[in-house]
Amino acid sequence: MTAMLASVRNLAEARLVIQAGVDLIDLKAPEQGSLGGLPESTVREIVLRLPDSVTSSATIGDLPMEPDKVAEAASRMAASGVDYVKIGWFPSGDWEGTLARLSNLAEEGARLVAVLFGDELPVLDWIERFREAGFVGVLLDTRDKARGPLAEILPRETIERFLHLGRSHGLFCGLAGSLRIEDIAALLPFEPDLLGFRGALCRSGIRTAELDGEALRRVRALIPRSPRSLPSLRRLADTTQ
């Protein structure tokens, strides 16, 4: 079963995607970059107002790979109450040191998700390292949204290898990155755990615009539900720990 992730930037949008039956609410500030982060106080307020049954994630922002900076931001976001903290792995910087610092946070119980960028030659060999550090999931996204959808940027073989590596190391795996409604049929056969959307759910397809209820419903209808579907992605993370 593939779950649907929708990125939202405020409580009103969160409530809209809940009504549409979205599986995972992802809190972010799209106007701040590919993984633009909302203030921790805003995330905390939204999470407190969500039903207990709702699964949530949040990004920490487009931060350079500096161990102290990334670890501190991830720690603050984990304390906000979200189920998952998404961390982008941007080119250059201290990947080794950053992963070492984040492994300590994972040991304390934070559910961390590594985001790799398909338009920047993702280093898939690091997926095993993420698992060893205690991460629970990996997401393949795009950094430059103007370059087009992930499904057109990467060849089928790379997407398959990403998913294979993630699954073989016990991580849940998601695909995102300017995905359009027409990309769904092409990506569902890969059976990712998640498909993530923002622009396809917005008016005129612009990711910084307001969400469109009708677009939400169209995307939701194209991602089949199953009697075996995960009632909460929290359970998937629990099985990996």
Q: Are strands 84-88 and 3-8 parallel, antiparallel or unpaired?
A: unpaired
Q: Are 91 and 110 in contact (CB under 8 A)?
A: no
Query: Is 145 assigned a catalytic role?
Result: no
* Euclidean distance between CA atoms 193 and 225, whole angstroms: 12
Considering the candidates 20, 55, 63, 86, report the single residue annotated as catalytic: 86
Q: What is the DSSP letter of 7?
A: E
Structure tokens at 206: 């612009």
Specify the residue for token string 């095993």. 128
* Euclidean distance between CA atoms 120 and 65, whole angstroms: 15
DSSP E strand stretches across the chain: 3-8, 24-27, 55-59, 84-88, 112-117, 137-141, 172-175, 194-197
Query: Is 28 assigned a catalytic role?
Result: yes
Considering the candidates 9, 28, 44, 198, report the single residue annotated as catalytic: 28
Q: Are strands 112-117 and 84-88 parallel, antiparallel or unpaired?
A: parallel
- Which residues are annotated as catalytic? 28, 86
